[in-house]
Amino acid sequence: MHRSLIQTALFCVLAGLALAGCQPASPPPGDSAAGPDTAAATTIRPSADDGNTATSPAPRQPRLAVFDLGSLDIIQALGGHAAIVPDGSGPANLQAMTAAAEVRAGSLFEPDAAVLAEHQPDLIILGRRSAGQLQTLSAIAPTINLATRPDHFIQDVIANTRRLGELLQVPERAEALIDPLQQSLDQLHALSAGQTGLILFTVGGGASVQAPGARHGMFHEVSGLSPVISAIKAGSDERARPEPGSPEALALRQDNRERLTQALAREPDWLIVLDRTGATGDQATGMQVLAQIPELAGAQAWQAGRVIRVDAAAWYLATGGIQGLQHTLDDMIQALRQAQ
């Protein structure tokens, strides 16, 4: 199949435009639909006419460049692979997949455009960290941003799973992932009904509360726990991190401490902790930091052990992955059941 047709078809599937006039143009004269991209792969299917078998081309998996670990998590769950990935290994469950990739091309923040141009992927998938490169990379190959939104998180994970399932031509596998996910959500929300929660993000020796709409505020939607603080506009908490020790950093830490104190005064039933240091392998520091905060140590939820620590690598590095989400739902269900 002509390369430009493959790319147009891929982009149409992911953009959800196949029914809105986004169709590939006719191949140029002399270009066969069963060209070198598909000739090597065939599948045998029963013939409807005589019961015998007949061969027909089996479209190859598109050559993907993936710069979003949440999308990579979904692709892995669907049985796919990525030809081009960024440097770094990511969460443990994705390390074998990234190691098997043919090419490394820059980082999650800055994909290497020169390497991508050299290796010509069929599609480039970006996420939150790399979204700013969309316009530049679109000149190389069809490019799409699959970053999830904190105020529509579940909706976006499910939509991305279906999009990627269509892309990889395994929509039934996508539904096989989504169905148990929805069942787990229903089960968890039945357990959490009538209870409250507070989301804490620990980094650099401090902790910040995460309201609905904040970067990590999706845990309210995931858990079904009612927030004890007011929602904010999605994205309004995104800002450059101040230099450690700067007046801005000290002011931010003081503001975080005051907001934490106010939230804890409302005695949430549960605490959900996302520890950034845990994403890089340090599993103890974040909880030690929290234990040294007097207001937190005195909170009823902390003292009762109603604390859920989520997988930092899955949520900080691979936000939006369906496998990470399913594992967290399982952990939350277990925690809430044990507390009954």
In a shared domain, residues 114 and 201? no
In a shared domain, residues 75 and 126? yes
**Which helix (H) or strand (E) covers residue 240, if one does?**
none
pLDDT digits (tens, 9 = 90+) for 244-259: 777 777 777 788 888 8
Domain residue limits at 99? 64-147
Model confidence at 15, pLDDT cuts 50, 70, 90, reads: low
Contact between 238 and 256 under an 8 Å Cβ cutoff? The reply is no
In a shared domain, residues 295 and 223? yes
Residue 70, SS3?
Answer: helix
Lowest mean pLDDT among 278-287, 309-318, 322-331: 278-287
In the predicted model, what is the mean pLDDT of the chain?
Answer: 81
In a shared domain, residues 125 and 19? no
Model confidence at 30, pLDDT cuts 50, 70, 90, reads: very low
In a shared domain, residues 230 and 316? yes
Q: Which of 116, 147, 178 is the last residue of a domain?
A: 147
Model confidence at 16, pLDDT cuts 50, 70, 90, reads: low
Whether residue 177 lies inside any domain: the answer is: no
Model confidence at 156, pLDDT cuts 50, 70, 90, reads: very high
Lowest mean pLDDT among 200-204, 236-240, 274-278: 236-240
The whole-model pTM stands at: 0.81
Whether residue 222 lies inside any domain: the answer is: yes
The dihedral sign for the CA sequence 324, 326, 332, 338? negative
Model confidence at 235, pLDDT cuts 50, 70, 90, reads: confident
The secondary structure of residue 87, as a DSSP letter, is S
pLDDT of 333 higher than 70: yes
Q: Quick one: pLDDT at residue 234?
A: 82
In a shared domain, residues 134 and 94? yes
Q: Which of 147, 168, 183 is the last residue of a domain?
A: 147
Whether residue 50 lies inside any domain: the answer is: no
Strand partners, 178: none
Whether residue 287 lies inside any domain: the answer is: yes
Token pair for residue 54? Answer: 């007949």
**Which helix (H) or strand (E) covers residue 67, if one does?**
strand 64-67
Whether residue 227 lies inside any domain: the answer is: yes
Whether residue 143 lies inside any domain: the answer is: yes
| Residues 6+ positions from 91 with CB-CB distance below 8 Å | 69, 73, 311, 313, 314, 317, 318, 321, 324
In a shared domain, residues 228 and 332? yes
pLDDT digits (tens, 9 = 90+) for 276-287: 776 665 556 667
The CATH number that applies at residue 102 is: 3.40.50.1980
R_g over Cα of the chain: 23
In a shared domain, residues 311 and 220? yes
CA distance 65 to 126: 9
In a shared domain, residues 230 and 326? yes
Whether residue 156 lies inside any domain: the answer is: no
Contact between 75 and 100 under an 8 Å Cβ cutoff? The reply is no
The secondary structure of residue 111, as a DSSP letter, is B
Token pair for residue 286? Answer: 């974040």
Whether residue 164 lies inside any domain: the answer is: no
In a shared domain, residues 15 and 74? no
Backbone angles phi and psi of 305, in degrees to 5: 75, 20
The count of domains in the chain is 3
Would you mind telling me the total number of residues written for the chain in this entry? 340
In a shared domain, residues 212 and 287? yes
Token pair for residue 299? Answer: 């909170």
The secondary structure of residue 161, as a DSSP letter, is H
CA distance 88 to 111: 12
C-alpha 321: how far from chain center: 4
In a shared domain, residues 315 and 201? yes
Biggest CA–CA distance in the chain, Å, is: 80
Q: Give the burial string for 302-321 (b: 16+ CB within 10 Å, else e).
A: beeebbbbbbbbbbbbbbbb
